[in-house]
């Protein structure tokens, strides 16, 4: 079945409904631009994933109009505690200049997506789930996109296409953009768990072990999440959970669907080695194994087609650069597209 092209037309088509794509669509709709947003997944994933929210992102959300909802759902980040071989090294308080209106916060990615999606729906636009961009061709006036939907195939012409479709982006590949970089050799595991300790609320925890040669050989990083003593914990992966192909390259396994994903016992073993005080992990909601990659496109778009977020750049998680940079990409692009479409 092929749907009518005219009935599906919009000024902008956004491919991908993660935080980046949702930001692009929400800013476009806020400015009165017709927009469709599609995502191949049938529903939002219930995974914490990216959790760090930077002050600049909160400033953008303030301008867009939903920062209050985000702050009500988030944990204010007060600072970080650092330990080496069981001994506290420092306690860092995150103090920002008075002219910065927002501080750092922690918010699970599924909450970030929910908040932006609800804001977007206030403009009458819903994410078209189970719908995937499979190809596109552009000319001087528009972009012709082919979609697969739950009802069949659809062809739509749009003035602009924005690819927020992740590290394996169809849009980036369709443009032929270079994506130079690579993956670091270390593998890590993540878990969303409750940790029964009495460390101060709102502080991240970084605990490391240094061997006799002075090299760090074990690592635990805990970021607080909303809930009672809930954290997203990051650790080096044990050999039995390794997903790396023998020749190297990127590999990810996540969820709780079975296979090589961390169980509560894996998390507890790391806490037993590195936690600054005796503690127990419980209530595992989600876990993941991943390698840290670093890649960057040679340009952000061509003609009427653009990429943003992980489709354009992927980062190590240090400093919460990935999602925040992507959200800022999307907002910056969206308001400029809106002015272009308005004839400014």
Q: Kindly report the pTM of this predicted structure.
A: 0.90
Using the 3D structure, point to which of 268, 293, 318 is the last residue of a domain: 293
Say if residue 135 is in the same domain as residue 276: no
What CATH number is given to the structural domain containing 315? Answer: 3.50.50.60
State the DSSP H helix or E strand holding residue 96, giving kind and residue range, or none if neither: none
Say if residue 188 is in the same domain as residue 288: yes
What is the total count of domains within the chain? Answer: 2
Phi, psi of 269 (to 5 degrees): -60, -40
Say if residue 189 is in the same domain as residue 174: no
pLDDT at 259 over 80: no
pLDDT at 1 over 50: no
Identify the pLDDT of residue 252.
46
Say if residue 196 is in the same domain as residue 258: yes
Say if residue 100 is in the same domain as residue 116: no
Say if residue 287 is in the same domain as residue 229: yes
Say if residue 164 is in the same domain as residue 208: no
**Overall average pLDDT of the 305-331 stretch:** 90
pLDDT at 261 over 90: no
Say if residue 169 is in the same domain as residue 192: no
Which has the minimum average pLDDT: 59-68, 142-151, 211-220, 264-273?
211-220
Q: DSSP for 12-26?
A: EEEE--SHHHHHHHH
Identify the pLDDT of residue 238.
87
**Overall average pLDDT of the 127-151 stretch:** 97
The band of 81, judged by pLDDT with boundaries at 50, 70 and 90, is very high
pLDDT at 253 over 60: no
pLDDT at 249 over 50: no
Handedness of CA 123, 28, 306, 288 (dihedral sign): negative
Say if residue 117 is in the same domain as residue 207: no
Length of the chain: 344
The answer to whether 323 and 315 are in contact (CB under 8 A) is: no
Q: DSSP for 181-211?
A: EEEEEEEEEEEEEEE---PPTTEEEEEEEE-
Let me know the angle formed at the C-alpha of 232 by 268 and 58, rounded to the nearest 5 degrees: 170
Say if residue 279 is in the same domain as residue 239: yes
Say if residue 196 is in the same domain as residue 210: yes
Alpha-carbon distances, residue 113 vs 11, 22, 149, 159, 326 (angstroms):
23, 7, 21, 26, 13
The two tokens of residue 192 are 């969303």
Radius of gyration of the chain (CA): 21
Q: What is the rounded average pLDDT for all residues in the chain?
A: 90
| Residue 100 domain boundaries | 57-107+184-293
Using the 3D structure, point to which of 273, 293, 313 is the last residue of a domain: 293
């Amino acid at each position: 079945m092929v749907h009518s092209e005219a009935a599906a037309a919009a000024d902008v088509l956004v491919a991908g409904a993660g935080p980046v794509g949702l930001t692009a669509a929400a800013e476009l709709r806020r400015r009165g631009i017709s927009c469709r947003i599609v995502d191949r997944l049938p529903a939002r994933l219930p995974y914490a994933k990216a959790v760090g929210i930077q002050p600049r992102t909160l400033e953008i959300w303030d301008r867009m109009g939903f920062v209050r909802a985000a702050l009500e759902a988030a944990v204010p980040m007060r600072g970080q505690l650092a330990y080496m071989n069981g001994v506290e090294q420092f306690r860092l308080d995150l103090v920002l200049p008075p002219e910065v209106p927002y501080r750092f916060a922690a918010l699970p990615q599924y909450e970030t997506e929910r908040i932006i999606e609800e804001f977007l729906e206030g403009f009458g636009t819903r994410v078209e789930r189970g719908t995937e961009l499979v190809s596109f061709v552009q000319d001087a006036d528009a972009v012709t996109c082919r979609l697969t939907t739950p009802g069949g195939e659809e062809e739509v012409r749009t003035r602009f296409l924005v690819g927020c479709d992740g590290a394996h982006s169809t849009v980036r590949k369709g443009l032929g953009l270079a994506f130079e970089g690579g993956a670091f050799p270390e593998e890590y595991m993540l878990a969303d768990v409750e940790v029964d300790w009495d460390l101060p609320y709102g502080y991240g925890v970084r605990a490391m072990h240094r061997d006799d040669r002075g090299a760090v050989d074990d690592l635990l990083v805990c970021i607080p999440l909303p809930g009672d003593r809930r954290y997203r914990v990051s650790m080096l992966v044990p050999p039995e959970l390794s997903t790396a192909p023998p020749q190297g390259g990127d590999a990810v396994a996540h969820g709780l669907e079975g296979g090589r994903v961390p169980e509560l016992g894996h998390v507890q073993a790391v806490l037993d080695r590195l936690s600054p005080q005796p503690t127990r992990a419980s209530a595992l909601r989600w876990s993941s194994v991943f390698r840290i990659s670093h890649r960057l496109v040679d340009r952000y778009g061509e003609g009427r087609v653009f990429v943003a977020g992980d489709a354009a750049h992927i980062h190590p998680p240090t400093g919460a650069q990935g999602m925040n940079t992507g959200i800022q990409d999307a907002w910056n692009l969206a308001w400029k597209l809106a002015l272009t479409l308005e004839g400014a």
